[in-house]
Every structure is written in structure tokens, then in C-alpha cells.
A = this chain, B = another copy of it.
Amino acid sequence: MATIQDVAKLAGLSRTTVSRVINDHPYVAEEKKRLVTKAMEELNYVPNSSAQRLRKQATETIAVYVPRITNPFFSQLVESMENAAAQKGYQLILCQTRYKKKQELFYLELLRTKQVDGLVLTSIENNWDDIKPYLAYGPIVLCNEYSDEAEVPVIHLDQVEGGYIGTKHLISQGYKRIGYCSGNHKSSRVAGDRRIGYLKAMKEAGLPVYPEWYYDSAYSVSDGMRIFSIIESQDNKPDSVFTGSDEVAAGIAKAAKKAGWRVPDDLAIIGFDNQPLAELMDLTTVEQPIDTIGRLAMEKMIEEILSKRPQRRKRTELPLKIIQRSST
């Protein structure tokens, strides 16, 4: 492996001059620049990035936290972040927290050991108090999930509004017995706010909210199928359900059809996200501008890294909208 020294020797110049050429510094004579470039090519030289990192105290690498990459919401988020990062010459380290506090803490060490310049969290497992100390080692940006205590930039969606317009939509279609599914992450603002929006819409319309119409642990298609079987067995059945995700909605729709129910006549269903799945299953859903928040979060992250100032709280909240299909 050729080093900067080898290049310098071959070009008949000093390491300094070679370094200047590599880093595009001013005050290098055109002729020497050519000499260096030629030597670099001849030796098939590339700067060793471990050495650069050590010297510059920067890695040009960002860690992205997701619960699981197979969740389509998060894979889309990661795709848009990777695009934005690559464009600015940054790499992404993928960290799957698997919904576990311990796994999240494990990955936080990446920042402390200087393996990455910053962290983008799309979900939060631990209390903010346990994450906060890591701010001493580099910037953190929240994307999607949020927290009131966190004094960092947050790019997220207006989940109160999401819950509200989704529920309102059902109400406007004449449904009155509206059930609610939730992922039930105790500390999740996303889930909490969405529920606030739902309750607000229900209250405004003077509709009742029964505890038996609250279905929790709803994440996946199979959770949706399980929830349908609960609904099927209930005496006091809802006539429609607000779900937290297209997967859950799809699972309910699938199980309902299988049981001979008509959607939306016997049960209306509204999803969340507008995944390809929603179109396939003809689900009305609440669309989230996933690519946009991913890109904005990554751009913000890089801005934070470059402007070495201490971080400040800054909320960017994006709107949501209903996509109507045949499930409502």
C-alpha cells in the first residue's frame, strides 16, 4: 500500500505538498500539482482514511438508528437518508435497536468511541436522560420520533393532526363506532400524539370511546389478523378502525375478507403511511412525507456536524394528508 511518503518521493516533493494537492489547498504551483497527480496515479495511491480520521478527528460517517430495517416505514426513511448522505460524501452505519433499550445503548457507544460523527434516531427506546450524556461526544438529530426534553433538532410529522384527520375522515363517512389500534410504546410521542388526535376528533363529534375498542401491540400484518379475530368475537363491535400502520390495516382487511366480512360495509379500515401495500390492498390511509423528513434530517445532521456549535432545540413539523381508497 502506497503512502503519502511514497508519492512524495516519486514526485520529488515533500509530504506537505502532496497533502496540499490531496486537500485542494491554494498555493501549489500547477506544475507540481501535475507531478503529484501523476505520482499518485502511478502508485495507485489513495489516502488512508483511518489516518485521516485520526488526524482530523472526524469520520464522515453517521449512525442511523431504526428499530428494524424490514419495517417498510423505516427502510424508506433509511433509503432517503442514505441518498442524502451519499450526496454529501457521508457514509451510514445501520443500527437496528430491535426495540431494545440495551441494543440502543450499545450503539450509542459508536459516538463515544468516535466511530461516527453524529447520530440520527428514528425511534427512542431509552429515557432521554440516558441518551443525553452522549451529546457531549457529538450531535444527535431526531427524525420521526420526538421528545420534549431533547434539546436537539427534531424533524417530525404532526401526529396529533394525523390521528385527528384520520378519525375525522371516518366520522365524515358516517362511521360512529370507531376503534383504535396502537403500537403501544409507552414513551412514544408518535403513538401518544396520534391518540390525542383521535380522542380530540371523537370528542368534537360527541362519539363514545370504549376501552374494548382500544387494541394494542399492533405493529405487523399478523397483529392485524389477531386484532380482527378479537373484533369478531366482541359483542360490542366497532364499525370501523383507525390503525397505526398500513401493515396492521392490511392484516385486519385480509382477515375480515377471509371471514366473509365486507370492507368497508361491515368494517371500515384506515391505514397509516401510504406504503405500496396500501395501494395494493385498496386501503384509505394517512400519507406521511417519509422521503422528505429523511432528507431534511440528514441535511440537518450534516449541518450540525460542520457548524461545531452546541446543539439547539429546533422543531420542524411536516403536515400529513388523507389518501382515500375503498376501505372507508
Contact = CB atoms under 8 A, between A and B. Distances in A.
Contacts of A247: 276
Interface stretch (A77-85, A193-201, A315-323): A77-85
B59 A70 contact: no
Contacts of A280: 221, 250-251, 254, 277, 280-281
A78 B75 CA distance: 10
Contacts of A109: 46
A96 interface: yes
B92 A94 contact: yes
Interface in A81-95: 82-83, 86, 91-94
Contacts of A279: 221
A91 B110 contact: yes
A5 interface: no
Determine chain A's interface SS by DSSP, over half rule: helix
A79 B68 contact: yes
Contacts of A14: none
Tell me the number of copies of this protein. Answer: 2
A69 B59 contact: no
A59, A82, A221 — which one has the most chain B CB atoms within 10 A of its CB? A82
A50 interface: yes
A114 interface: yes
Contacts of A276: 220-221, 247
Contacts of A69: 69, 75, 78-79, 82
Contacts of A292: none
A207 to B, nearest CB: 30
14 contacts: A46-B109, A46-B113, A48-B54, A48-B114, A50-B54, A51-B54, A54-B54, A61-B93, A69-B82, A79-B96, A83-B96, A91-B93, A91-B110, A92-B94
